């Protein structure tokens, strides 16, 4: 079994870390460990597998995140994911949304370490790639350090030795998923203490990491860092973190280089229209809905110039030009000459 390097990870984020987003982030950081959005085993077993799981080889190393609580379904889905070529299966034990709660998985499973262990054991039996957990430091009133340690002990005993920990508890009643990412306070110290007490486990800390200095501090006390929102809104932070975590690679490129590398990808995507487009559907609005659009890609690159002069013009240009239904790839091609050459410092 090859072990991915988990020093620098980009968090799973529904509707955000789709394959276009991941391809873009990969261009910025060749070594970050990327995660898919959460997928349910049933969707995989009964749905369009290629649509749900397909990815570009450039996206390696990449983990797929599963959200479920039925060991047998998870094991079957994990096997399919392994066949697709994923480098790791990650179980979501941290999402607090109502939809997830009613399916009895996500963060509410922190109250059921034995069940999490059964899910891990079933998946580990089914695949040869690592099976890992992403969790919180607690939920509701089960939020003491003892509760957290007990959870980790039991799940580790079932065979999981890698934990990505969002360093805040989740309130399952009363807070929305969005509030659950900001309201409960961060407690990275608890994650650092976990690493100290269980040096045999690989512990990656997550939550609110948005600077190289912050990342450097966490890396002294854990095995890795996982960034979510900061990596999405200010993706260039991954270039700095790539340098921090993998200095020997010494990647030399600027934002324009990354934009240029997105062009062939975008062109290829627009040329590869879905099959429905070959039919009559192309002529009506329904067909248009399924058409590949430039915006599917460009929505994820809006933050590329965050904090730079030209950032606003860049975002405005993309939201006006690339959102048109038939926007061609030239919209992206022209951006350098139309916007950046004028706005960037010379
Ligand atoms: C839009 C959005 C979608 C998310 N979807 C998922 C998900 O599918 N699975 C998951 O484990 N966490 C999900 N999260 C939580 C993130 O993975 C991460 O744990 C959280 O945002 C804290 O990290 P950050 O402060 O670096 O953003 C999501 C977060 C956001 C902002």
Region 310-334 average pLDDT: 94
95 is catalytic: yes
Number of folded domains in the chain? Answer: 2
What is the best residue among 8, 9, 10, 12 to mutate for testing ligand 1's pocket, by most ligand atoms within 8 Å of CB? 12
Residue 146 CA, ligand 1 centroid: distance in Å:
25
* Within-domain flag for 40: yes
Condensed to tens digits (0 to 9), the pLDDT of residues 12-67 reads 999 999 999 999 999 999 999 999 999 999 999 999 999 999 999 999 999 999 99
Q: Does residue 214 sit in the same domain as residue 297?
A: no
Give the structural domain span for 230.
8-249
Residue 245 CA, ligand 1 centroid: distance in Å:
22
- Does residue 162 have its Cβ closer than 6 Å to ligand 1? no
Condensed to tens digits (0 to 9), the pLDDT of residues 280-297 reads 444 445 545 678 999 999
Q: Does residue 185 sit in the same domain as residue 277?
A: no
- Residue 202 has which token pair? 């690989």
- Does residue 207 have its Cβ closer than 6 Å to ligand 1? yes
Q: Does residue 147 sit in the same domain as residue 259?
A: no
Least confidently predicted of 3-12, 172-181, 217-226: 172-181
- Does residue 228 have its Cβ closer than 6 Å to ligand 1? yes
* Within-domain flag for 2: no
* Within-domain flag for 197: yes
Q: Does residue 134 sit in the same domain as residue 71?
A: yes
Final residue of a domain: which of 249, 283, 302?
249
Q: Does residue 242 sit in the same domain as residue 264?
A: no
Catalytic residue, chosen from 95, 119, 135, 245, is 95
Residue 13 CA, ligand 1 centroid: distance in Å:
5
Looking at every residue in the chain, the average pLDDT score rounds to 93
Q: Does residue 271 sit in the same domain as residue 245?
A: no
Taking 60 as the threshold, does the pLDDT of residue 141 lie above it?
A: yes
Residue 141 CA, ligand 1 centroid: distance in Å:
22
Q: Does residue 303 sit in the same domain as residue 241?
A: no
Final residue of a domain: which of 200, 227, 249?
249
For residue 37, the ligand 1 atom closest to its alpha carbon is 8
Q: Does residue 43 sit in the same domain as residue 113?
A: yes
Residue 276 pLDDT class (50, 70, 90 cuts): low
Report the nearest-CA residue for atom 18 of ligand 1: 228
Q: Does residue 58 sit in the same domain as residue 170?
A: yes
Residue 110 pLDDT class (50, 70, 90 cuts): very high
- Does residue 134 have its Cβ closer than 6 Å to ligand 1? yes
Taking 60 as the threshold, does the pLDDT of residue 335 lie above it?
A: yes
pLDDT at 289: 62
What is the best residue among 8, 9, 11 to mutate for testing ligand 1's pocket, by most ligand atoms within 8 Å of CB? 11
Residues 6+ apart with CB under 8 A from 39: 52, 53, 64, 65, 66, 67, 77
CATH value at residue 96: 3.20.20.70
Residue 206 CA, ligand 1 centroid: distance in Å:
9
Report the nearest-CA residue for atom 5 of ligand 1: 13
Q: Does residue 239 sit in the same domain as residue 299?
A: no
Residue 230 CA, ligand 1 centroid: distance in Å:
11
* Within-domain flag for 266: yes
Q: Does residue 228 sit in the same domain as residue 262?
A: no
For residue 90, the ligand 1 atom closest to its alpha carbon is 11
Final residue of a domain: which of 249, 272, 290?
249
* Within-domain flag for 3: no
* Within-domain flag for 1: no
Q: Does residue 22 sit in the same domain as residue 39?
A: yes
* Within-domain flag for 210: yes
């Amino acid at each position: 079994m090859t072990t991915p390097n988990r020093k620098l990870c980009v968090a799973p984020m529904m509707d955000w870390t789709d394959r276009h987003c991941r391809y873009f982030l990969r261009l910025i950081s060749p070594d970050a460990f990327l995660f898919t959005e959460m997928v349910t085993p049933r969707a995989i077993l009964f749905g369009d597998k290629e649509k749900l799981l397909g990815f570009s080889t450039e996206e390696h190393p990449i983990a797929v995140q599963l959200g479920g609580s039925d060991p047998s379904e998870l094991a079957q889905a994990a096997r399919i994911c392994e066949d697709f070529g994923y480098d790791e299966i990650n179980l979501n034990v941290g999402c607090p949304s109502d939809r997830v709660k009613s399916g009895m998985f996500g963060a509410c499973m922190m109250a059921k370490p034995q069940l999490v262990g059964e899910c891990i054991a079933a998946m580990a039996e089914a695949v040869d790639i690592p099976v890992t957990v992403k969790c919180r430091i607690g939920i509701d009133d089960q939020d003491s350090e003892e509760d957290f340690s007990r959870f980790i002990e039991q799940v580790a005993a079932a065979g999981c030795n890698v934990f990505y920990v969002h360093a805040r508890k989740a309130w399952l009643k009363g807070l929305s998923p969005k509030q659950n990412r900001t309201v409960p306070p961060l407690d990275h110290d608890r994650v650092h203490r976990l690493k100290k007490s269980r040096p045999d486990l690989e512990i990656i800390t997550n939550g609110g990491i948005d600077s190289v200095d912050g990342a450097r501090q966490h890396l002294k006390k854990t095995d890795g860092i996982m960034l979510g929102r900061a990596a999405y809104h200010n993706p260039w932070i991954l270039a700095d973190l790539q340098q921090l975590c993998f200095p020997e690679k010494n990647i030399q490129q600027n934002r324009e280089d990354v934009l240029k590398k997105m062009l062939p990808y975008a062109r290829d995507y627009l040329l590869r229209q879905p099959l429905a487009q070959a039919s009559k559907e192309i002529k009506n609005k329904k067909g248009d809905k399924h058409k590949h659009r430039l915006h599917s890609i460009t929505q994820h690159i809006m933050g590329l110039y965050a904090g730079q002069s030209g950032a606003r013009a860049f975002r405005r240009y993309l939201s006006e030009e690339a959102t048109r239904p038939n926007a061609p790839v030239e919209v992206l091609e022209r951006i350098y000459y139309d916007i950046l050459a004028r706005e960037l410092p010379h």
